[in-house]
Amino acid sequence: MTKRAITTEDFMKLEVFSDPQFSPDGASYAYVSTRVNDKKEYESNLFVQSLNSEKAKQWTFGPHNTSYPRFSPTGKYVVFQSNRSGTSQLWLLPLDGGEARQITTFKNGAGNPEWSKDGKYIIFSAQLEEGDDVTNQKELTKEEKQKQKEENSKKPLHVKNLRYKSDAQGFLDDKKSHIVLYDVEKETFTQLTSGDFHYGYQDISPDGKTILFAGNLNEDNEYELKSDIYALNLDTKEITKITDGEGSYYTATYSPSGKKIAYLGHKHEYLNATLTKIYLYDVETKEHTCLSEGWDIQVGDMIAGDTRLGTSESGPVWSKEEDRLFFIGSNLGATNLYEVNLSGEIKERYNVDSHVFGFTYDPNNNSFVVGVSTPTVPCNFFLLNEANNVKQLTDANRDFIDEVEIGTPEAISFKAEDGWDVHGWLLRPYGFEEGKKYPFVLEIHGGPHVMYGQTFFHEMQLLAAKGYVVLYTNPRGGHGYGQEFVNACRGDYGGGDYRDLMAAVDYAVETYDFIDKERLGVTGGSYGGFMTNWIVGQTNRFKAAVTQRSISNWLSFYGVSDIGYFFNKWQHGYDLLDDPKALWDISPLKYADKVETPLLILHSEQDYRCPIEQGEQLFVTLKHLKKEVEFVRFPGANHELSRSGKPELRVDRLNHICDWFDKYL
């Protein structure tokens, strides 16, 4: 029987897994499952599955966002965070039976809970204002929140800081992220950090005497894009800076003995195009060692997609013997599970041309539960034992997979004009027939320092289902192909990266005779939106274009984006005051009079990363020039609309993209 084609609404039928966590005895694991409910809202709940069972057991229920399950070392409790009370708070679930009880009632919520190694304490993060008392926190009622919202809407926003807004959080206030300790037996709270700084909890030493946190405690921190690892002595309250103050360092974790600390980061050698490195710190000798010296892979998961919800562990994680570290790395369009010994020798533990989006390690058996997505399967968990044998644990979205036609992308590789190898994938249209000509869409990723890869991507599958050949590639500037490659677009936006994309189209048209070269379309978001705007101002070979959350004017981007004040300097080598003409020369808006391609502009009203004025400028200019252009503004959405925006708005967005290409291609 022929399977049906994928539709715009189908992403709402998917179950998305994240954050696997082994139980202390290694016999089972918990995880988070997120889906869109009947009210077309996201809900996430906790599940647990025995390694000897084919079916998981649901732990939490209801239309809430529940996440971050963490087993106590004794196996007696699971702590998790949930907004079931109206604000994200911490809840404690006894594993010998009984209901979960709420343990925090903080006014601004609580999250990211972790246990001390002896299981006596839970350490978590809370947004606190100056003078807040953690021993007397009261969560606001629904009515109090509404009243506060109404009062705030009548007040002017008094801005004093350079960083006063964030795409993720909106307009920022004076609250700071602090670290709080909860005594499970005494049911008391102790604030561990203080002052006008943000503190990011990292780990607690095995002896319970020291915590690690990441942050910037310099007085000029709002002007510095740096982060260090610090140690806080819980007895003396003395803070010691561990890293050198010259870069960005994070994800620090103690070895099982507490003698060493592993952490990630870099010294900004290539600014935000620098590959992340793995470092070791010897607690006794104070010596730092870079384990990844000489590597040319990116530590961490850099794959772009639209069906990943929730966070997951990517490492580094210590082995039981303290002789190895495990982590996820991005390489050649895939993410793999790696291990590295303390001499820096690296080897792959799991590599099947897929997207490893998270893992959990069981020191009892030296085994892993690995979360994996592939281009044809949205997500599943697998057990990877010490001998590298693999056992599938889940069969998520089976009904969906059996019902719809999911295309398998064909990997392509070609030479750019200067000899660089460029990698990508091509999807054939639904119901493909030999001898027939099909319209074509080029997809361009954002970042630019991310990568397309071996993961399930609903938007790509949808366009193929609508009858398009879909090409998505990793032009220079993307991760996964080494330090020189990821740095190659800096100072050259619209140069080599543009030529790579045009070479990709040339290769596809010349190689696949079923592509109708008279019906080519292009789309992309963020950096991909910039590049879409750039392309239509440089060439008329595309008959339709859709630009999303884009950049059209680097001059104004400097002052309106939440990252503009440093992004221009880091990516182009100059900012507004250094060389306004140079910024204007690489601004797509400058070339608006040359645009002949019908252009659809999609933008979110609350996008603070690429603010909507970028779309407005482009629309007004093109419309004033009587070009073929339309503008769609999405209310209440930010830069993340395509990935985690309101489901109904995501459907609208996809429908607009498909309708535009249907109209012109």
Query: Buried b vs exposed e over 139-160: b needs ≥16 C-beta within 10 Å?
Result: beeeeeeeeeeeeeeeeeeeee
Q: Count of CB atoms within 10 A of residue 462's CB?
A: 24
CA atoms within 13 A of residue 282's CA, in its CB half-sphere: 9
Token pair recorded at residue 508: 């596809």
The alpha-carbon radius of gyration of the chain (Å, integer) is 25
Token pair recorded at residue 148: 């506060």
Report the alpha-carbon angle 88-92-94, nearest 5. 155
Q: Count of CB atoms within 10 A of residue 546's CB?
A: 28
The side-by-side arrangement of strands in the sheet containing 57-58 is 16-22, 28-36, 42-50, 57-58
- Our measurement of the distance from residue 86's CA atom to the centroid of its chain's CA atoms, rounded to an integer in Å, reads 25
Report the alpha-carbon angle 546-547-553, nearest 5. 150
Distances, alpha carbon 567 to alpha carbons 154, 268, 486, 497, in Å: 33, 13, 16, 18
Contact predicate 531/545, CB 8 Å: no
* Catalytic positions: 526, 639
- Our measurement of the distance from residue 287's CA atom to the centroid of its chain's CA atoms, rounded to an integer in Å, reads 32
Contact predicate 267/246, CB 8 Å: yes
Distances, alpha carbon 500 to alpha carbons 50, 221, 477, 595, in Å: 48, 38, 10, 20
What's the CA gap between 313 and 112, in Å, rounded?
12
Interhelix angle for 496-511 vs 527-538, to 10°?
70
Contact predicate 554/529, CB 8 Å: no
